Amino acid sequence: HGQFYDLLNIFDLNGVPSESNPYLFNGDFVDRGSFSLEVALTLFCYKLVHPKGCYMTRGNHESRTCNAMYGFEGEVNAKYDQSVMALFCEVFNL
């Protein structure tokens, strides 16, 4: 739920995602925390760099309704703009 420093602590304790150290993230990466955008972007980067080391499923918070209700949309709009939010909605619906 957007807890970026908790994510970094997990990586510090267990190592970063890689083919030899795979992770499965079971959704709800965003909302509630102040750094949801950073969590999502970090996970996307690991997925791009290590596609067989970072697996992600979509949770109910990766939806337009929850994003509007629980704060992710506001965070993205404050840090970027609505066009970036539209891209997140598109990615979350893949």
The catalytic site residues sit at: 61
Amino acid, res. 75: E
**Look-up: residue for tokens 């992710």?**
72
The H helix count followed by the E strand count for the chain is 5, 2
Return all residues near 89 (Cβ < 8 A) that are at least 6 apart: 64, 67
Contacts of 60 (CB under 8 A, 6+ apart): 27, 28, 66
